Chain A
């Protein structure tokens, strides 16, 4: 039973086709990178996958989808709203409980945000916001994570730490990435998109940087 199974899927906005006849099957445990030029349809494909299987999936959107007036703690805590009752959640909204803070602390530390735990997300830098969004996905846990350029604003060394954390937390990973080196290093399957079509679908192992360059040409 595959985790995702698209057959000849189409998608578009306002009558403009973004994806055409995309077929994609992703099995449990696979680590997939979606690569391609901007506008190739990566984000749309991710959204499509997410909408097919929301339960058990965590999403890291490109616009990090944070609540800007809430703290880093709260934004990460939101990853597990579904596990608690509404009253418990509201209590933590008004005043975070010690035990919840303790659960969030390791994630914050791993992402290098320990000093910003109670800073409103809107006051963080772009990279910090992105890490907070990753933190939410890490905290959520589940079997699949769908990330849209989750480290695009994070610098090199830290990007690797973040991707390590994602890889450790989730069995099945689908990431849209523009950094070809990172894609090759952290995933075992590369799906190349161009003009809304899948034009490449191969294991990472045999590929080199040069093989992917064609995706970025018109």
Chain B
């Protein structure tokens, strides 16, 4: 695979480097060997319980109603198909071969030496996806991508690259999940997103891991002039730990980034989430909105907006609901304005459901429980175009379960 030697070298040097945030993991504790799973053109090799599990991560196992599909189980690509012209989907290893190491994209946004997880993803890469919308292509249906851990205790290393060429429109739904029988594992996921001039990329990521799975995504995004990057992140199910801090650079005039996350921290879960947006071009705009509920776990909501030029506008919002006695919520909103003429704001609120809100709804005829449910439901409201109905139903069920803890 034609990767620049300096990349490898930097990775080797960072093999033991601890990450800036999140609990430190011993990578040796996880398996690196897994069975090779055969390519599955018709999705026939999945048991019914697996199908249900995949559905909960938004993965429908069908090529209809999708512009393209990608499914990686453990280290194997089980499905990869493009159904719409103007869209290219390849396993990243294949793309590296085809495009001579993807020198303009591969490790150009995420530093390979950021920490031991980025280093491991380079030194022991399994696979990942390369998804590209060609210039001007309007990809109307969502692309469905799935990263699936099918073997107990496995560390899955992936590297994804998404390119929205000038004027293109693209929506990717990535579902990340484990086999119903898998309880532990590690997912290392590098993702680099390139939103070029006037392009529009919506990236929806649904995490539906198991209780002892650790997750360390490392993502970075660059948005050029007039480009729009919308990110939705949903994690409503128990997971041992997730630590991620995607970094967005708005480098072109009028570039826009919106990052939404809806998160439930269950007992035993440690979620250290956040994001940074650097506004480097005039008239660029950013909005980071985190809605976090803890039912007993630890949730950290970070957010940093950096305004480097005048005439930018950015808002950061961290809202947290603590629905259990033991839950911990830590909101860290940061703003940096480096010049005059920036307009930046943040709002952070952590607490329980306000009695005033409950009583307002009770005055309309709802019982106390119904009122609290309505408020939690509103708080976790997930309205994302293109989500499969089965996933919406599952989100609804999860919200109902969350309400039981009230």
Decide if A and B are genuine partners. no
Report B's interface with A, CB cutoff 8 A. Answer: none
